[in-house]
């Protein structure tokens, strides 16, 4: 089936919803509890405005940047997400799409494709891990990523194992045995395009996690890996400092929403942080990442690369984040919807949409480069982010007194 171009991420979302079985789609859009943070991640962008110019606009605009020593053709990279059952090629299709558009791939340790194959598809791959297992297991896991050629390491810390959702949690099987397939058959039969893609690929959705263990042949199921993660003691900053010492290369701490945490990440020598609340899947009621960004940039932006993820749906969102000090953004649901809609071509479509929107927004703002963007280019309501900065600064000061 030929790929039909879509003109917005919203259209990719609509196509993904029509195509995917409800349980698969539900896993993509879920957030914690009431979904307050999930909604605020998106709504925050609508509170910031532009005042465009009408003359002396630049004929050409430069979108390229670097993140963790990797040159990128645009300030958007792929955020790591877990098992991608929306398309049989999963992370391989995403990696190829990112490579074709000149940007980096983030691969989750809970992903469904081996890191060796993903790096072959996109040499600019960052490997993501949670704090799962003993130190020796973690060391072996990241050593495998290093041997595979991963360009950087991302440690994700913004997750509290909250599974309560007001709209209900989707049913995700641990194994696709005959009994399970019969139970889910109605969903597949009523969404034949999704099912047909798997039949043509002579495979079923992969529910194992081949990157959690140093030996890919010993890959646990997603729930097996998740169970090990839940049973692992929560990391301390000393643990994260140790992990940073084990990785000889660029290192990102993902999940920062507070100034004091940003400062600790800088203190241990992290290359970058991502201002993130796990796409609304951490503590519900956490503010939008865009609200937390300005204060964190003011505090540590001269010491560490500051990225942002959460709620990016259009190129103008990217421009707003960059104007508030982000070096680049990471996208998650947006590319998964593109993947569901049309595989590799759909992910490329999403990246092209964002690129074109960034370019046209720069044109209107009379900026020749993404590196020229500043708070002067946007209209920010009073206390949009500064109130968060002030509060976390006070908490940090009180903790140290």
Choosing from 3, 53, 175, 278, the catalytic residue is: 278
Q: List Cβ neighbours of 188 (8 Å cut-off, separation of 6 or more).
A: 21, 194, 195
* CA pseudo-torsion sign 71, 74, 75, 76: negative
78: β partners: 331
Question: Considering only CA atoms, which of 73, 92, 87 is closest in space to residue 341?
Answer: 87
CB within 8 Å of 118: residues ≥ 6 apart? 91, 92, 95, 105, 107, 111, 125
Query: Residue 42: which residues within 8 A CB-CB, separation 6 or more?
Result: 288, 311, 313
Q: What are phi and psi of 152, to 5 degrees?
A: -165, 165
CB atoms within 10 A of CB 156: 22
Dihedral (CA of 193, 195, 199, 204) sign? positive
Cα distance between residue 132 and residue 138, in whole Å: 7
CB 204 within 8 A of CB 194: no
Cα–Cα distance for residue pair 157/283, rounded to 1 Å: 12
Report CA torsion sign: 311, 313, 318, 319: negative
- Bridge partners (DSSP) listed for residue 76: 329
Q: Which two tokens stand for residue 54?
A: 């009408």
Based on the residue annotation, tell me whether 13 is a catalytic residue of this protein: no
Cα dihedral sign for 89, 90, 95, 97? positive
As beta bridge partners, residue 253 has 155, 273
CB atoms within 10 A of CB 5: 11
- The position carrying tokens 């940003």 is 262
- Which residues are part of the catalytic machinery? 278
């Amino acid at each position: 089936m030929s790929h039909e171009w879509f003109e917005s991420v919203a259209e990719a979302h609509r196509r993904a919803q029509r195509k995917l079985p409800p349980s698969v789609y539900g896993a993509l859009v879920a957030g914690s509890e009431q979904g307050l943070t999930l909604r605020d991640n998106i709504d925050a962008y609508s509170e910031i405005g532009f005042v465009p110019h009408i003359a002396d606009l630049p004929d050409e605009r430069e979108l390229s940047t670097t993140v963790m020593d990797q040159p990128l053709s645009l300030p958007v990279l792929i955020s790591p997400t877990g098992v991608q059952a929306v398309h049989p090629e999963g992370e391989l299709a995403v990696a190829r799409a990112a490579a074709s558009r000149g940007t980096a791939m983030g691969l989750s340790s809970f992903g469904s494709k081996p890191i060796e194959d993903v790096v072959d598809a996109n040499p600019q791959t960052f490997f993501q891990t949670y704090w799962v297992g003993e130190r020796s297991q973690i060391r072996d896991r990241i050593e495998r990523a290093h041997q595979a050629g991963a360009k950087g390491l991302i440690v994700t810390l913004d997750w509290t194992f909250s599974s309560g959702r007001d709209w209900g949690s989707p049913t995700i099987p641990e194994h696709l045995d005959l009994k399970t397939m019969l139970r889910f058959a109605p969903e597949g039969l009523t969404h034949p395009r999704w099912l047909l893609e798997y039949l043509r690929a002579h495979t079923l959705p992969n529910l194992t996690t081949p990157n959690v263990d140093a030996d890919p042949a010993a890959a646990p199921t997603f729930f097996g890996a998740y169970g090990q993660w839940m049973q692992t003691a929560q990391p301390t900053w000393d643990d994260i400092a140790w992990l940073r010492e084990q990785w000889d290369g660029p290192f990102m701490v993902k999940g920062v929403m507070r100034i004091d945490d940003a400062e600790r990440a800088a203190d241990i020598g992290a290359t970058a942080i991502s201002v993130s609340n796990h796409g609304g899947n951490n503590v519900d009621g956490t503010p939008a990442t865009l609200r937390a960004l300005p204060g964190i940039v003011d505090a540590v932006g001269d010491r560490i690369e500051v990225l942002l993820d959460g709620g990016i749906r259009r190129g103008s969102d990217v421009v707003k984040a960059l104007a508030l000090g982000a070096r680049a953004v990471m996208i998650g649901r947006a590319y998964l919807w593109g993947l569901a809609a049309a595989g590799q071509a759909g992910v490329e479509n999403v990246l092209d949409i964002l690129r074109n929107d960034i370019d046209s927004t720069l044109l209107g703002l009379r900026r020749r480069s993404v590196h020229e963007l500043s708070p002067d280019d946007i209209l920010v309501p009073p206390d949009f982010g500064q109130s968060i900065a002030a509060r976390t600064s006070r908490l940090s000061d009180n903790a140290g007194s």
